[in-house]
Structures are given as C-alpha cells and as structure tokens.
Amino acid sequence: MSRKPIIAGNWKMFKTVSEAASFFADVKGKAEVDGVESVICAPFTALPSLVEAAKGTTIAIGAQNLHFEDNGAFTGEISGVMLKDLGVKYVIIGHSERRAYFAETDEIVSKKVHAAFKNDLTPIVCVGEKLEEREAGETKNVCSVQTVAAFQGLSASQAAEVVVAYEPIWAIGTGKSSTSEDAQDVIGYIRSVIAGLYDDATAAAVRIQYGGSVKPNNVAEYMGQQDIDGALVGGASLEPASYIALIEGAK
Ligand code: PEP
C-alpha cells in the first residue's frame, strides 16, 4: 500500500491576513511537488483568503480546530459547517496545546473527529506523550489510549482517511526532536493499534506523521522510516523558504 506523504504546516497563532497572503505568494508553485501533499493549517482569520489563493494550486488549506457542534450558543467557536463552507480541506484535532491549555479530552477529540467527517473535512489527529510519561515508559500506552479514543465509532473507510500526527510533547517547539528510529518505533506501534481496531489493510492506508521540531535538515531522515508518512510542522513552517524546503525534503 503506497501512502502519499503529507507535510502540514501548523501556523498556530501566527500571521495576519496580509502576512498569510504574502507567504502564500512566495510558496505558490514552489511548495507544490509531485508525490507530496502540502497543507497549510492557518488561523481562522486567514482561512478565507488562503482558500481563495490556493484555488488552482495543489496546496490544501486546513484549520487548527473546530467545535463539534454544527452551530449553537458557543461564543467564540467555529464549526465544521463553517469550515466546509469556506472550502477548507483539513482540520487539526487534539493538538497537545489544545489538550493542555484548553482542556481538550479524548472524548472531545472523538466528537471533533466525527464533526470533521460529517463536514467532509479530513482530520489530522494529534497524539503523543508528555516527558514524564516517556520517562515512566508509558509512551506506547498513552498513544494507544489516545488513538483508540480518536478512532472510536469510525467506519473502516473513515478510519483509512484519518491522518494521525504522532507528536511527543517534549519535542514540540523545543528543538529536541525524537530520533527517527524512536519515532518509527512509536508510529509502527500506532499502526498496529489501528490494525487491531480494524484490519491490516485499513491500518496500512492510514497516514501517520511525526511532529516535533521537524526542520528542513531532518525531514528526510523521518521520511526514510517505513511507517512515517510525513510531518506536522510548527516553527519551521512559518518562513516560505523553510516551508518549501520541507516539502522538497519529503519527496
Ligand atoms: C506543532 O506545532 O505541532 C509542532 C510540531 O511544532 P514544532 O515543529 O515547532 O515543534
């Protein structure tokens, strides 16, 4: 089963509308490489103009969160219906920053994954252990629990569409990346958990990214591992040249 590599930039709370437009103008045509899917996950405010700018390109636009209800009295929230209406294709769900700072639980993550599918959005579901969990030998257990929760109630065909991002929390934004061998070990394990939930063919179809201080100079090393299908990248996705180099490096 060949899985198309996917590099997704997670801009977090960076870039105004005009900064996003300038970035896109710089990467257009260059961050479009045969055989690699290129995704930019931007703040909500930049999504309408980015979706417009991305028309006719192979770059997909993603959000970084959604609410699990379609609409309602949820002040400040954005729903899957709204993202679909904009033409957004991907949505990050359960990023560790949302789990840590916005009390996002496995149950909420599951509801959001269902809301994504209901609105034709592809979820990029983040799982990963804290430093103390790693030191206690709990990495695989934590990833298994989070993965099982995220796939709860999905059909095999939906499951095959999910993108999982394995992001050891101690490696996010710290410059301390996991070795590619360690990342492969955990990602291979996550794939085996998915096989246990469904079957080997479904697990073989799921794309699993590594995330955590991925840079242009180490992306190829991760891509060389058999179960690693791309990267979710924060800091190094913010500069056009670096983003282009990440896409090039994933070929
Ligand atoms: C992230 O935002 O998911 C991430 C992995 O950030 P960074 O690449 O900066 O570590």
Pocket flag, ligand 1, residue 9 (CB < 6 Å): no
102-129 per-position pLDDT tens digit: 999 999 999 999 999 999 999 999 999 9
User: What's the mean pLDDT in 61-84?
Assistant: 98
CA of 231 to the centre of ligand 1 (A): 9
pLDDT band of residue 229 (cuts 50, 70, 90) is very high
Whether 1 shows a pLDDT value over 70: the answer reads: no
Atom of ligand 1 nearest to the CA of 236: 8
Are the CB atoms for 20 and 28 separated by under 8 Å?
no
Atom of ligand 1 nearest to the CA of 231: 5
Place of tokens 């995704």: 39
pLDDT band of residue 151 (cuts 50, 70, 90) is very high
Pocket flag, ligand 1, residue 168 (CB < 6 Å): no
pLDDT band of residue 195 (cuts 50, 70, 90) is very high
Are the CB atoms for 212 and 194 separated by under 8 Å?
no
Reported as type and span, the H/E element at residue 91 is strand 90-93
Catalytic residue among 37, 95, 97, 104: 95
Maximum Cα interatomic distance, the chain, rounded to a whole number of Å: 48
Pocket flag, ligand 1, residue 212 (CB < 6 Å): yes
- Domains of the chain with bracketed CATH: 6-249 (3.20.20.70)
Are the CB atoms for 165 and 97 separated by under 8 Å?
no
Residue 95 bears catalytic tag: yes
Mean pLDDT of all residues in the chain?
97
Residue 97 bears catalytic tag: no
pLDDT band of residue 4 (cuts 50, 70, 90) is very high
User: What's the mean pLDDT in 69-87?
Assistant: 98
CA of 96 to the centre of ligand 1 (A): 10
Closest of 31, 36, 19, 54 to residue 229, by C-alpha = 36
Give binding residues for substrate as ranges: 10-12, 173, 213, 234-235
Q: Which residue has the least CA distance to atom 4 on ligand 1?
A: 234
User: What's the mean pLDDT in 1-6?
Assistant: 89
pLDDT band of residue 35 (cuts 50, 70, 90) is very high
CA of 234 to the centre of ligand 1 (A): 4
State how far the Cα of 30 lies from the Cα of 14, in Å rounded to an integer: 22
pLDDT band of residue 177 (cuts 50, 70, 90) is confident
State how far the Cα of 121 lies from the Cα of 113, in Å rounded to an integer: 9
**How many CA atoms does the CB half-sphere of 186 hold within 13 Å?**
28
Closest of 33, 35, 40, 39 to residue 12, by C-alpha = 40
User: What's the mean pLDDT in 86-95?
Assistant: 98
Atom of ligand 1 nearest to the CA of 177: 10
pLDDT band of residue 2 (cuts 50, 70, 90) is confident
Are the CB atoms for 137 and 54 separated by under 8 Å?
no
Alpha helices in the chain (DSSP H): 17-27, 47-54, 80-86, 96-101, 106-118, 131-135, 139-151, 156-161, 180-197, 200-205, 219-223, 240-249
Joined tokens for residue 140: 């695989």
